[in-house]
Amino acid sequence: MHDGVPLSIAVREELRGKAGSPYIRVAGTWIGKTGYPAMWVTVDGPQLKDAALAQLDLGTDLVKLYMDAPGGVKDSPFEVADVRAAVQAVQARGARVAAHSGYLAG
């Protein structure tokens, strides 16, 4: 991150359209539940949609959700309705959502 913007955005833009350059899809930083390290975007449920859209506003191509709860709790850190609202808002803008979970089924 540089000035709150993922460095990968600048790399993507510099290489865009240059012969022999890779196609780069940029994701922002992880969005996780409050309680994770400050290097992440950390929010509570109702703020999830706004945090996801803020990543797109920075110029990212996709949003990454961290779906493991802080402290090793083996439960979803967000309510289904909050995740659904975030995913629908991101998809409405033509982007995708990726999620990480080490223990949640599905």
Digit-by-digit pLDDT tens for the chain (106 residues) are 666 677 889 899 999 999 999 999 999 888 988 887 766 788 888 899 999 999 999 999 999 999 887 777 788 889 999 999 999 999 999 999 999 888 766 5
> The pTM is what?
0.85
The reported pLDDT for the residue numbered 79 is 92
- The phi, psi pair for 79, rounded to 5°, reads -70, 150
The reported pLDDT for the residue numbered 36 is 78
Q: Sketch the domain layout of the chain as residue ranges.
A: 27-100
The reported pLDDT for the residue numbered 105 is 64
